[in-house]
Structure 1
Amino acid sequence: MYIHIGADRMIRAAELIAIFDVNIEQSSKISSEYMEHAREQGRVVQVGEEEVKSIVMTQDQIYYSPISSTTLKKRLNHIF
């Protein structure tokens, strides 16, 4: 199964590790350091050009999604 995370991007639900609200990056020093390290490794992907609302983590990539974390979680509930 796949989940649409914005623009033309879909990911396999089996690869999904976590979905976070984008504010977690700003509210936690550890989270911001982790994201900076991931950017340096080239693992962060911006989905579309709209305002970022959530962070979607998979095994290989981290996506900045324009879809809210609540909406993405609801989509997952329909899959499972």
Structure 2
Amino acid sequence: MYLHLGADCMIKNTDIIAIFNIRDQQSEIYDNYISVNKDKYKIIDLSENGECSSCILTTDTLYLSGISALTLKRRAEEDFGSDAIYKSF
């Protein structure tokens, strides 16, 4: 299955290592991990106007999304979009 991260970006659920909430004021994920390892990963900012709510970590990419970590978690657990039919126009 695939997870929609926002801004027309979808990734395989099996590629996801972790989803972090970075909007929370008490979250130190960005300062302690993302900023320290920014040279190790390709960073893709999917948020609008730089307002990130979550960080999705894969083996080689950090996705910054405006969609909350809780919403992404729920979508992944519910196989969001598994019943969708995609057509080419």
TM over 0.5: yes
- Counting helix residues as a fraction of each chain, which structure ranks higher? 1
- Aligned equivalents of 1:17, 1:11: Cα separation in 2: 12
Identity of aligned residues (%): 37
Identify unmatched segments of 5+ residues in structure 2. 80-89
Identify unmatched segments of 5+ residues in structure 1. none
Between the two proteins, the alignment pairs up a number of residues equal to: 79
After superposition, where does 1:24-43 map in structure 2 within 5 Å?
27-28=27-28, 32-43=31-42
- Counting strand residues as a fraction of each chain, which structure ranks higher? 1
TM-score by length of 1: 0.79
**Amino acid aligned to 2:6:** G
**Amino acid aligned to 1:35:** I
4+ residue runs over 6 A deviation:
none
TM-score by length of 2: 0.72
Root-mean-square deviation (Å): 2.4
Q: In the alignment, is the contact (CA less than 8 A) between 2:45 and 2:64 conserved in 1?
A: yes
